[in-house]
Amino acid sequence: MDKAEQAARQSAEINHDTALNAYVSEIACKVAASHCADIRIYVFDRPFFNATMAPNGYAEVWSGLLLRVSSEAELAFVLGHEAGHFLENHSIEAHNAHKARSNVTLALSVGIAVAGAVAATQSPTAQSAQSMIDATGNLIDAIYLANIAAYFRFSRENETEADHLGLKAANAAGYPAEAGADAWKAIIAEAAASDFERKRKREARLGIFDSHPLSRERVEALTSQAKTLSPANDPQGGARHRAAIRPHLSAWLRDDLRRRDFGESLFVIDRLARRGEDLGVVGFYRGEAYRLRRKEGDLARAKAAYQAAAIHPDAPAALWRELGDLHRRDGESAQARLAYDAYLARVPTAEDAWLVQDALSSLNQGT
């Protein structure tokens, strides 16, 4: 873990936004209480729901998690859950229990995935590793992945205990007790929306390491625990969380689409849109999800999504280029011209401005 931390400092995927890092660390401190000073949080731009806290205090929080929790309270619960593993030394238990038996197999299966032979295997871990590599565009160290996966492979009992401790800590810090069940329900619902049948059928997982099987029983346990806790209320928690992640929404949604599970991405997009904020950015990526998925009827859905997003001031310029392409494809020359003009007016010096100019002149020649 000391080595992992040294490597992390050099990683191109480290997120250096000081405000975002301060926000995540502040919440981690609230739920880790007296151990606050021992924990060092690193935020990674990686499009998967994942957080870990190692016994040396090295902690990773991935952007896919920050994109998915909908409030400060849900983030506090998830970090409280990880702090629970940390405080109870679960990773040391897991390490000892698995050291002799499963690490070799796991290292091999992850190694195979990294070598790109994933198509030949049905291992969910290997598939996750491959999708992570596809999504990040980087070759992630096989040993690093295998070690982390083995290290954080907790038992069901450990998970239940961490849930319990996480909710207790988050509630003690003043967060509403429903946040625990809400956070896990959303993850279960997202897996059910997956494009991949195998993912829809098996129990939802947290993290790419399959270390956190998420059962309905865990949601029920959190729901009954919530009834015993204080009825805290935090009406601004959703807005504060959105403000912290807003500068990264666009980049993180683009990364999320690189996982190529459009069912899940669309679920995440719908959940983000529910606040009624950032509708230009979020709606643009809804259009992108349909455009890239290209199932029957998806291009029409993409066009509708772009049109709906275009009325919001935060809509990215690229929306008008995509919209122009779709109108042109459908033979709607006048609308295509309007969209291309809107694009060039917004970003006259765009790298692809000449391409759009070209499309415009062929439209004007009626070709």
The CA distance from 212 to 205, in Å, is 6
Token reading at 282: 């979020």
Select from 15-23, 105-113, 209-217, 239-247 the region that touches Zn ion (CB under 5 A).
Answer: 209-217
For Zn ion, the closer CB: 79 or 269: 79
* Minimal distance, residue 212 CB to Zn ion, in Å: 4
Site for Zn ion in 100-159 (CB under 5 A): 159
The CA distance from 63 to 266, in Å, is 17
Whether the CB-CB separation of 247 and 23 falls below 8 Å is answered with: no
Select from 140-148, 208-216, 331-339, 356-364 the region that touches Zn ion (CB under 5 A).
Answer: 208-216
Site for Zn ion in 346-365 (CB under 5 A): none
The CA distance from 84 to 178, in Å, is 18
Class of residue 212 by CB neighbours under 10 A (exposed 0-12, middle 13-18, buried 19+)? buried
Site for Zn ion in 158-177 (CB under 5 A): 159, 162
For Zn ion, the closer CB: 159 or 182: 159
* Minimal distance, residue 50 CB to Zn ion, in Å: 11
CA atoms within 13 A on the CB side of 74: 22
Token reading at 72: 């400060």
For Zn ion, the closer CB: 62 or 306: 62
Select from 16-24, 204-212, 230-238, 255-263 the region that touches Zn ion (CB under 5 A).
Answer: 204-212
Long-range (24+ apart) CB contacts under 8 A made by 91-97 are 91/54, 91/55, 91/151, 91/152, 91/154, 92/55, 93/155, 93/158, 94/150, 94/151, 94/152, 94/153, 94/154, 94/155, 94/158, 95/150, 95/151, 97/155
How many residues bind Zn ion (CB under 5 A)? The answer is 3
* Minimal distance, residue 70 CB to Zn ion, in Å: 20
* Minimal distance, residue 12 CB to Zn ion, in Å: 27
Q: Which of 199, 212, 259, 291 binds Zn ion (CB under 5 A)?
A: 212
Select from 71-79, 212-220, 338-346, 350-358 the region that touches Zn ion (CB under 5 A).
Answer: 212-220
Which positions touch Zn ion (CB under 5 A)?
159, 162, 212
